[in-house]
Structure 1
Amino acid sequence: MKTLLCAIAITAAMSTVVTAGEVDVRLSTREAYVGQPIVLQLAIMNSKDYEQPTLPSIDGCDIRSAGTPSQSSQITIVNGRRSEKRSVTMQYLITPRREGSFTIPALSLKVDGTNKTTDPISFVATKSETGDLLFVEIEGRQDKVFVGQPLDLTLKIWIKPFRDARADITLSEGDMWNMISKSTSWGGFAERMQELAENNQRPAGHEVLRDDADGNQRSYYLYEVNATIYPKRAGKIEADDVQIVVNYPTALGKSRSPFGDLFDDDLLDRNSSMSRMLQDDFFNSAFGNRLTVAGARPIVGNVSVDATEVLPVPLEGRPENYRGAVGRYRIITHATPDEVAAGDPITLNIGIAGNGPMDLIQAPPLSEDPELTKDFKVTDEPLAGYVQKDTKLFSTTIRPRREGITEIPAIGFSFFDPETEKYETVTSAPISISVTKAETLSLDDIVGNAHRAHADDSNTAVNDNLPDLNNHTASSVLVSQTVKRSFNDWWIMFVVVPPMIWMFAMLTRYQGTVYRQLPSFRSQKTQCLIGIDKASDQPEIDAAIIRYLLRMSRGNRKLEVFSSDTQTLKSHQSEAVGTLRLTGLYQVAGEVETFLTRNSDNAQASLEESKMKAAQLVEEIDTAMQSNQKSRVKAPKSRIGKVAVQRPLGLLFAFALVASAQTVSAADAVALSTTQQQALLTEANEAYATGIEKSQTDAADAKELFSNAGRKYQLLIDSNIQNADLFINLGNTCLQTGQLGSAIANYEKALQLEPNNRQAIKNLNYANTKIENASSVIKEESWSLRGWNNALVGLAGERTITWTLAISSVLFWGLLILRLYLRTAPVWQFALLPLSLLIVSGASVAMTQTNPQQAWNAVIISDHVSLHAGDGDQFDQVFTVESAQGQRVETLAQRGDWCMIKTTDGHTGWIHARDVEIIKTI
């Protein structure tokens, strides 16, 4: 059997003939006309995988793809032998632009992992005799122009009307225009032709007389296309890139359809000019007499060009700031803001208007202007601009180097005027500004304040208000931290153990009395079942059930004691059953009412049987109540209830937001080696130190150094280093460059890792005093109970308060234990002080360690933001936050590049995510 299967498999394999991958290349013809495309066909047979070849470059020819490759397959079975052929065919159009012999070089491509190379193929192109059928000229309106000067040109095309003598028909100017082939190259007139095509227009033609090749006047259709060019080199105007190809008719005939018998490349496009021509009224009449071009031949017109001379721009007298502008221009400038501190950025907008090629205009070299660079820090990179009508606009940032600068000097722009053939320089008007002293602190202030802040490890607060802007340079900055708890667990023993000892002593001293006074911790259901089990008669069973229902309905309210006589039970029975009905438990209420009524009517019922039924009823009531509580949704009755519902949802949402943000952060983390991290830290620290040294002499250079240091610190943070000192370093650079929002955000991040970092707290308080509209935030933090506690911790120190808590706890509970055994001792006179210290220190430690969830979790880092109704600029603005930088907000959602926030004033809307920084570390 196995032998038979093997034989069948071998036979099937031998009966299927599959040829290995082969490549075949061929041309549609080896003889072509100039301007008439020929087809290069590349076929790949029996290949599973292939790569398209790179189009070769052929001197004197244009080559382009004719569309996507076509695929075909063929299966043939002859005498039981099965053969299969698969092929992929690619076509390219090759258009010769001059007479001569051409060679298509060998094409290389990979087929089924093997490199295949085709053989070179040659063809010749001849020029179809134009005779007096077509004339092409390019006419200039100036005798001479300079390089870069606009030159108005007119392309003139004369086409002799075709006349069919047998049909006595002469084609119109529109019909003859449609004979222009798609292989025509328009050169510098292509943009104008594209503009006409987009508006469904064409150059209008009119009939004129002109001399033919023999000097005899003949009738021609003249078409004119106007364009403006800007010569890029000196010499004569060249028109090598202009070639007009006309498929000139040789005969007309009847067609079976309006699209029949087309030719050349027009066969590839049913929307071609020829196809449109054949659908007009002349060729497609209402009487059904349809005509088409029965024959045609391509003719290429020799383009003659006017003798317009292009002159080079002279070197003599060329200004140093000349950047190639030719024509006449003017320059204007505008700067914002006009009141800044030294080193702060000023946006300088430059507008240049003129009659030259505006897209070629370059901005004046500001970095080479000594009048500007002596007072301002200017970028030395070329400025990019955009053209708006006849004006090109540029924008850059300059920084005043020191205080006291009163104006931005005039900016010069040089150009060559072709009318006067001289160089001219125009200048803008000076701009008045006011530069005040930079807010960066001097080195003496920083070092002096740092010395006072770090002179010892005591918790004594520094009296002045200057921040500590010394950056951390140790390698420990590169070690990631987890959230540091600002306390140790040792103090818990002093808080928990003393009261436990007191309780044990009290239980020992008053064992009998205390036990009798202890409340029952059994559930209402358990107490009811015990009451039923201990009942001696039917009324006591009913009383136990009624008490259970009343306790469940009244909650923690005290239930008055009532007897089990019949009259009393009936008065409470209606309330108990009514409670079940109010909660929607109608069936259970009916069963309870039936049970209580039946028992009162049937006093002879067995007590044990009644106890069993009562216990079953209690279980049924408990199950129904639990099910009803799970399914019932209660509306909030107060703001407290609303907050209680919203807070878990808010926490859940915040957790999801943080988790997603952490995922993105981990994915976007920059991979840096330890050596790279250390090098970045060193470079950042050096830039920061140099910036401090220059802060008093050149504020612009100083802030640029601070910005450079900040970018390097940020790169370290992006490499997933979470360190409080690193965040403080970045916050200091942001504070020095005036980025108050980013400084506040980084100080807050440092405090998340080290809640009691003295430098972060000090610098954050300083930054808060510098932001506008920060009074509400500062007031909330300073004048609340927690604000007072923060002030107390800052004054006394957390260690002192913790030790006070431990010692006062031991003293107070020790005195209470002493009071148990020495009732006559005046304990309370001595216990009052430790009790007060215990309450104050305990509350302080509790508030310090709980670190409650802030009402905000992000900081705005832009000066002005607008809140939108949706996540896009197309949505309406609902609120504008002025002087927004540094204000705290709550992020509610994030979608793409937009973030939904809620301000401290309760305004909600969407802003760009780049305008806000979320306070998140690990």
Structure 2
Amino acid sequence: MVVTGMKLYLGHFRDVMARMLLALVFCLSLWFCPTSVQGQDVAVTLEKDQVFVGESFGMRIKVTGDDSPSEPVLSESQDFSVEFDGGSRDSRSSVVIINGRMVKNEESGYVFSYRLIAKRAGKLLIPTASVRTSGGVLYTKMHFITAVKPGESQDFKLRMEFSSAEAYVGQPLTLTITWYLAKDVQGFQFHLPFLNDERFRVVDFEERINPAHREEYLQIDVGGGDTVARKMRLEYKGREFTALRFRKVLIPKEAGTLRLGQSTVAFNALAGYRRGGLGGGLFDSFDDFFQGNMPFGMGRQAIYKKMVAPSNEPVVTVKELPSEGRPANFSGLVGEYRVAAEALPTEARVGDPITLTVQVAGPDYLEQVELPNLAEDKNLTRDFKVPAEIAPGKVNGAVKTFTQTIRAKRADVKEVPAIELPYFDVRSGRYKTARTQPIPLKIQATRVVTALDAEGREVQDISGSEIETWTQGIAHNYEDESVLKKEDLPPLIGFWPTLLLIPPGAYILLLVGTALVRRRLADPAALKFRAALREFNAAVSEIKSARPGSADYYAALLRALREYLAAKLRKAPAGLALNEVLADLQQHLVPVELRDRLQRLYELCEAGSYGGSELQSAQTPQDLVSEALILVKQIERGFR
């Protein structure tokens, strides 16, 4: 035991020293890399300097002196998952009058936005980046962030559970993820490392929605795309919770004891109240998710704090499939399967098409199920012509259906033989074969169609008759010139020259149209800039149809304002702060009176998104919308 412990300690010590050496070499190499060149520089801004493991945070890379740099190349990092969040020009100009002389200052730049999630606790090095600009290659400086491991909470639990603790390689397993909530929350983001686990193939679980409880289902983003989740009331360790549950299918690729890494969900949790308004949470918009069970206080404003709930780390023991008894046509199906077949029509002639339908039923996940190659089934190809390709199967509920066209070769064919589907039965630990029942057929010989059948005449006895010329019908040859009919054709003067001009004319129009489209798409930010006012008016029209005074009403108006200003200032809407907006508007010579009105409108909308109908303001919700329309039109004039 002591020797084993020393070996583990020495191995861990060598790993730590190797990582420290690599970090030192990397840091020294960055020491000599330029962060500025020829009036251009690059800088990194982090949204925060301390996060929870699994919590998403923003990072911005700003290039000054070049408004069209290449996308940064980030160094590889095992400590973070990185997602590109878009980029936008960050150019501005200002006019200053000094001693009666007008001086115009112009600054060009570009901002790249990213979302990062820390994978482990500790002081972590943010991935550095290199950016190619018109003046050369720039490198960002080193930045560190502290990641803290989230702790368990009595009010929030995240649990994952496999459908079975033991499995075989290739056996679909259902992983159920349940988030238990005892308090109201605002916004959430799942971090599920198993989605990128190379030991498993991860696929979506096809949730069968009960029409009687359709309101309990919703689409949520779990990092790998939208997933159907169900909201319900559940009991956990003797306490009743509101729960959000969804499932994924994991198919093991290798044998061994496989442990899933810790998953997390980050959210803003209700921490208390203060005087001011009615607090509204995330699930208020999900058809009164809590059904009045959560304590929302009238005349109070809810206070939320950032939290992260960690999951457990479920384990599954995966075994290799045995080689003994494995059928030659085994395709890798693991579980328990049933198969049935149907052929239509059951009465046909030799060579006529017969549609063979095969239905396979089995585990919850059937997408990976494929039939053995029917063109290599000797029992089937002995009596039927079978194409080498088969149409992809279609899953409908718990059944996957395949269709194939076959043709009988002879009139003595009596049936479609049984179709076999080999699989490994996990219950018995042996290979088995599911078979369809033979399908009886009645096959008739093919009738040969002759030339006389094509003419539609009966067969006549021609023995002893002389050859004579047919005087009517399809066999008669007409030789008299009187059958020719003279027709006058209209003159085509001017038609052919016009026809010849159509192709080059169409080509010129295509060139002009392509050039115009390319010119518009060359600068997406310019398109958003020109369409900003139209998009804002459209958003306001939708807001007017919402319930005035609700938290969603104010939040929608605030979102429309933010997206309009982001488009006019050529910035990304995500993370656009009010102070930054006001500073940029000042650079565009927007009067201070308009900036003050905008700041007041922002503050009222933010307060309304929390307080809802209890917003303490002399202005009605409709007054705020009218003020926003007037204010945006006045700001728009400053950009023309």
The 3-state SS of whatever aligns with 1:322 is coil
1:106 alignment partner, one of 117, 129, 132: 129
* Alpha-carbon spacing, 1:308–1:367, altered in 2? closer, same or farther (3 Å): same
Q: Give the aligned partner of residue 239 of structure 1.
A: 260
**Separation (CA, whole Å) in 2 of partners of 1:157 and 1:225:** 6
Whether 1:75 aligns to 2:98 is no
CA gap 1:237/1:247 in 2 versus in 1, 3 angstroms: farther
Aligned to 1:326: 334
Tell me: CA distance 1:346–1:206, structure 2 relative to 1, closer, same or farther (3 Å): closer
Contact 1:23 1:44 in 2 (8 A): yes
> Which structure 1 segments of 5+ residues have no match?
1-18, 160-172, 210-218, 261-265, 442-463, 467-764, 771-786, 802-840, 852-922
Is the Cα contact below 8 Å between 2:68 and 2:110 reproduced in 1? no
Q: Secondary structure at the match of 2:485?
A: helix
Rounded Cα–Cα distance in structure 2 between residues aligned with 1:107 and 1:258: 48
404 and 205 in structure 1: CA distance in 2 versus 1, 3 angstrom threshold = closer
**Post-superposition offset of 1:115:** 7.2
In structure 2, relative to structure 1, the CA distance for the partners of 1:406 and 1:183 (3 Å cut) is: closer
How many angstroms apart in 1 are the aligned matches of 2:419 and 2:386? 13
Q: Please provide the CA RMSD for this pair.
A: 4.8
For the 8 Å contact 2:259–2:316, the answer to whether it is kept is: no
Shift of 1:362: 1.0
Q: CA deviation at 1:437?
A: 4.9
Paired position in structure 1 for 2:405: 397
Shift of 1:392: 0.5
Structure 1 residues 465 and 54, CA gap change in structure 2 (3 angstroms): farther
Cα distance between partner residues in 2 of 1:203 and 1:271: 12
| 1:285 partner amino acid | G
What is the SS of the residue equivalent to 1:372? helix
User: SS at the partner of 1:291?
Assistant: strand
1:26 to 2:26 alignment: no
Determine if the alignment matches structure 1 residue 64 to structure 2 residue 64: no
What is the CA distance between 1:96 and its match in structure 2?
0.8
1:38 aligns with 2:57: yes
Q: Secondary structure of 1:359's match?
A: coil
Residue 130 of structure 1 pairs with residue 151 of structure 2: yes
The alpha-carbon deviation at position 386 of structure 1 amounts to 0.7
In the TM superposition, residue 440 of structure 1 has moved relative to its aligned partner by 7.8
Cα distance in 2, alignment partners of residues 271 and 20 from structure 1: 50
> Structure 1 residues 769 and 403, CA, compared in 2 at 3 Å: closer, same or farther?
farther
Displacement of 1:54 in angstroms is 7.2
Tell me by how many angstroms 1:410 deviates. Answer: 1.5
Per-residue CA distance 1:53-104 (angstroms, 9 max, x = gap): 5787643423234467475633233533211224443322111121242442
Residue number in structure 2 paired with 1:89: 111
> Which residue number in structure 2 is paired with residue 489 of structure 1?
none
Q: Which of 281, 286, 289 is 2:300 aligned to?
A: 289
The answer as to whether partners of 1:154 and 1:226 remain within 8 angstroms in 2 is yes
1:390 counterpart letter in structure 2: A
Following TM superposition, by how much is the alpha carbon of 1:420 offset from its aligned partner in structure 2, in angstroms? 1.9
Q: C-alpha distance in 2, partners of 1:54/1:439?
A: 72
- Match for residue 304 of structure 1? 313
The aligned counterpart of 1:202 is 231
1:846 and 2:477 correspond: no
Greater length-normalized contact order (CA 8 Å, ≥ 6 residues apart): 2
Quickly say closer, same or farther: Cα 1:259–1:289, change in 2 above 3 A: closer
Q: Supply the distance in 2 between the matched residues of 1:200 and 1:418 (Cα, whole angstroms).
A: 29
What's the offset of the Cα at 1:289?
A: 2.6
TM-score (structure 2 length as normaliser): 0.52
> One-letter code of the match for 1:64?
E
Change (3 A) 1:397 1:334: same
d(CA) in 2 for partners of 1:156 and 1:122? 35
Kindly report which structure 2 residues correspond to 1:674-693, keeping only aligned pairs within 5 A, or say none: none
Counterpart amino acid of residue 325 in structure 2: G
1:358 Cα deviation after fit: 1.7
Q: 1:284 to 1:339 in 2, by over 3 A?
A: closer
| CA-CA distance at 1:105 after TM superposition | 3.9
Instruction: Indicate how the Cα distance of structure 1 residues 402 and 117 shifts in structure 2: closer, same or farther if over 3 A, else same.
Output: farther
Tell me how far apart the structure 2 counterparts of residues 87 and 278 of structure 1 sit (CA, whole Å): 47
1:180/1:140 CA distance change after superposition, 3 Å? farther
Aligned length: 411
The residue type equivalent to 2:439 in the other structure is I
SS at match of 1:104: coil
- 1:468-479 aligned at under 5 Å gives the runs none
Q: How far apart, CA to CA, are the structure 2 residues paired with 1:118 and 1:279?
A: 53
- Per the alignment, do residues 158 and 304 of structure 1 end up closer, same or farther by CA in structure 2, a change over 3 Å counting? farther
Residues in 1 aligned to 2:150 and 2:103: alpha-carbon distance in whole angstroms: 55
Instruction: Provide closer, same or farther for how the CA distance between residues 310 and 205 of structure 1 changes in structure 2, counting only shifts above 3 A.
Output: same
TM-score (norm 1): 0.38
Residue identity in the other structure for 1:232: P
SS of the equivalent of 1:182 reads strand
Matched, 1:347 2:355: yes
Q: Does 1:254 align with 2:262?
A: no
Judged with a 3 Å threshold, the aligned counterparts in structure 2 of structure 1 residues 391 and 123 are, in CA distance, closer, same or farther, namely same
Radius of gyration: which is bigger?
1
Pick one of 344, 350, 355 that aligns with 1:336.
Answer: 344
Q: Is the Cα–Cα contact under 8 Å of residues 328 and 355 in structure 1 kept in the other structure? A: yes
Q: What per-residue deviation string (whole Å, max 9, x for no partner) do you get for residues 573-615 of structure 1? A: xxxxxxxxxxxxxxxxxxxxxxxxxxxxxxxxxxxxxxxxxxx
Instruction: Say which SS state the counterpart of residue 320 (structure 1) adopts.
Output: coil
- Provide the rounded CA distance (Å) in 2 between the counterparts of 1:769 and 1:308: 74
Q: One-letter code of the match for 2:113?
A: Q
Query: Tell me, what secondary structure is at the counterpart of 1:371?
Result: helix
Q: CA deviation at 1:366?
A: 0.9
Report the Cα distance in structure 1 between the residues aligned to 2:343 and 2:380, rounded to whole angstroms: 14
The structure with the largest helix share of the pair is 1
Structure 1 residue 433 displacement after superposition: 3.2
**Counterpart amino acid of 2:80?**
C
SS at 1:363's partner residue?
coil
C-alpha distance in 2 between matches for 1:56 and 1:440: 74
Deviations 1:641-685 (A, max 9, x none): xxxxxxxxxxxxxxxxxxxxxxxxxxxxxxxxxxxxxxxxxxxxx
Look up the SS of the partner of 1:174 in the other structure. coil
Query: Hey, what's the Cα distance between the residues in 2 that align with 1:135 and 1:75?
Result: 53
